[in-house]
């Protein structure tokens, strides 16, 4: 069984976060350490530690990450100029929290990579 993370507590509203979107499949909230003017994390409500843990049953939920990203990019006013979606997997991929999450980053030219 996967271990819960801080994201599970945000989903359940046990700790405060600037939640921008939540439905039965996903939750989206502002990153507390933003790398750009708009930096939002979009997470499945189901605890999946890494991309390697996704199963066929999870496809609709994972697709929802992208449709919510599209909605939030429009709401943030960054859709037209562009934005970046990032999903990290395991230590070499830069993953820090072991609950799959997509970074929606934009609001300025990002260049070829975001280096942290």
1 occurs within a structural domain: no
39, 92, 99, 101: the catalytic one is: 101
Counted domains in the chain: 1
Q: Is 101 a catalytic residue?
A: yes
pTM for the full predicted model: 0.93
115 occurs within a structural domain: no
115 pLDDT above the threshold of 70: no
Q: Which tens digits make up the pLDDT trace of 60-88?
A: 999 999 999 999 999 999 999 999 999 99
107 pLDDT above the threshold of 80: yes
Q: What's residue 2's pLDDT?
A: 73
What's 65's domain CATH number? Answer: 3.30.428.10
114 occurs within a structural domain: no
Q: What's residue 114's pLDDT?
A: 56
DSSP per-residue codes, 7-58: HHHHHTTSS---EEEE-SSEEEEE-SS-SSSEEEEEEESS---SGGG--GGG
111 occurs within a structural domain: no
Q: What's residue 3's pLDDT?
A: 86
Q: What's residue 112's pLDDT?
A: 84
Domain range holding 82?
A: 6-106
Instruction: Work out the average pLDDT over 86-111.
Output: 96
């Amino acid at each position: 069984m996967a271990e819960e993370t801080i994201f599970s507590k945000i989903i359940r509203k046990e700790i405060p976060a600037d939640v921008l979107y939540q439905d039965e499949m996903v939750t989206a909230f502002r990153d507390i350490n933003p790398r750009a003017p708009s930096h939002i994390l979009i997470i499945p409500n189901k605890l999946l530690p890494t991309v390697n843990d996704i199963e066929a049953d999870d496809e609709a939920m994972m697709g929802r990450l992208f449709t919510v990203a599209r909605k939030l990019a429009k709401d943030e006013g960054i859709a037209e100029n562009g934005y970046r979606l990032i999903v990290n997997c395991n230590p070499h991929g830069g993953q820090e929290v072991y609950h799959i999450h997509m970074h929606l980053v934009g609001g300025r030219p990002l260049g070829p990579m975001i280096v942290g």
